[in-house]
Amino acid sequence: MNALKVLRIGPLVSIQDQGRPGQLQQGVSRGGAVDLLALAEGAALLRQSADLAALEMAGMGGLFEATGPLRIALTGAPMQVSLDGEALAWNASHQMQAGQRLEIGAARRGVYGYLHLGGGIDSAVMLGARAAHLMSGLGRTIAVDDLLPCGPDQSSETGLGLTPEDRFQGGTLRIVAGFQSDLFAADVRARFAETGFRRGSRANRMGGELVSDGAGFAAEGQLNILSEIIVPGDVQMTGDGKPFVLLREAQTTGGYPRIGTVLPCDLPRVGQAQAGTELRFDWVSLEEGLALQARHDAQMKSLPGQCMPLLRDPAHMQDLLAYQLISGVVSADTDPFA
């Protein structure tokens, strides 16, 4: 069995996939990767399904050793990375051989980086998915001496690169009105969109705090709100009017007022925002939001066609002898024009 053995690991590294829909009645939100676009990018680079599980690394990776030949891809927040001491390209796919060591350090930008294996990580399935749901205690973080086994790898192509969508420096979050938006006065909703926010210090896979200068954003009669269903992207206000954008492991229900819901395609900007990163909100209609999301979904499906061969320096190619460097043989004595 080909696998990666964990020799050193960061504190918040876990196996993630698309999550587990249909478990809300069990008190388990969908979960899955914070940056679903990164899952799709890794799948495109390895020519495989985006449903396969990958390793999600929050801020810091680790040191891994291959037990046999395997393919890898690196996406999401760019991190320091090397293979047997030689630097590797991020947003690219690479080949590893038995005994080689992959070292992934700190994130240069963003928060969540992803390590993909050819065939996906073949870990145990729990409630229909391999994703660890840390808030509910379903699964756990990765530990030293763990083995990350590869599933059946249906492809052999590697050495591909991809130019990612930049979602690591904050920006604008498109937001649509929800059932509770009218609890906030029109002038409060307008001020919300006019306010510049910064990612606060409190954030995890459940949600991220946003801070701003000035007054908070209170709803009318917010102490009388009944607990209702929660979805990722909901912007929930605390008692002092501070917004939290809920992410993949959000609670299933909640009684804090919600001013609106961020489009799913913009949620990676929240999850990938480091503390202090600037974020703003822009109200869009439901029709505009559906069109924006459909465009994003189409772009994700087109990712395999955007992958291009890496331009590599032959002096740094450890697998140089695996390539056919001469396409044919000619005689030095034969006239080529005869």
Are 115 and 72 a contacting pair, CB within 8 Å? yes
Q: Domain check: are 67 and 131 in the same one?
A: yes
Domain boundary among 134, 157, 180: 157
Q: Encoding tokens for residue 264?
A: 């799913």
Domain that holds residue 282: 171-298
Q: Domain check: are 176 and 141 in the same one?
A: no
Q: Domain check: are 200 and 224 in the same one?
A: yes
Q: Domain check: are 76 and 148 in the same one?
A: yes
Q: Domain check: are 153 and 11 in the same one?
A: yes
Domain boundary among 117, 134, 157: 157
Are 300 and 41 a contacting pair, CB within 8 Å? no
Q: Domain check: are 88 and 183 in the same one?
A: no
Q: Could you report the per-residue pLDDT of 181-215, keeping only the tens digit for each? A: 999 999 999 999 999 999 999 999 999 999 999 88
* Encoded amino acid at 29, one letter: S
- Does 101 reside within a domain? yes
Query: Is the per-residue pLDDT at 315 higher than 80?
Result: no
Number of separate domains in the chain: 2
pLDDT score at 175: 98
pLDDT class for 338, splitting at 50, 70, 90?
low
- Does 315 reside within a domain? no
| Pairing label, strands 278-283, 171-176 | parallel
Q: Could you report the per-residue pLDDT of 218-262, keeping only the tens digit for each? A: 888 766 677 888 899 999 998 888 999 999 998 888 878 999 999
Q: Encoding tokens for residue 2?
A: 């080909």
Q: Domain check: are 54 and 17 in the same one?
A: yes
- Does 323 reside within a domain? no
Are 220 and 183 a contacting pair, CB within 8 Å? yes
pTM for the model stands at 0.90
Q: Domain check: are 7 and 148 in the same one?
A: yes
> If DSSP codes are grouped into helix, strand and coil, which group holds residue 222?
helix
Q: Encoding tokens for residue 75?
A: 């996406």
Domain boundary among 124, 157, 190: 157
| CA gap 237, 227 in Å, rounded | 14
**Helix or strand (DSSP H, E) at 57:** strand 54-58
Q: What are the residues whose beta carbons fall under 8 Å from the beta carbon of 158, sequence distance 6 or more?
A: 46, 71, 93, 94, 95
Q: Domain check: are 7 and 137 in the same one?
A: yes
Within 10 angstroms of residue 322's Cβ, the number of other Cβ atoms is 9
Q: Encoding tokens for residue 131?
A: 């994703």
- Does 103 reside within a domain? yes
Q: Domain check: are 151 and 35 in the same one?
A: yes
> If DSSP codes are grouped into helix, strand and coil, which group holds residue 23?
coil
Q: How far is CA 253 from the centre of its chain?
A: 24
- Does 186 reside within a domain? yes
Q: Domain check: are 175 and 147 in the same one?
A: no
Q: Domain check: are 50 and 134 in the same one?
A: yes
- Does 78 reside within a domain? yes
CATH code at 179?
A: 2.40.100.10
Q: Which whole number is the average pLDDT over 52-65?
A: 97
Number of H helices, E strands in the chain: 5, 22
- Does 153 reside within a domain? yes
Query: Is the per-residue pLDDT at 1 higher than 70?
Result: yes
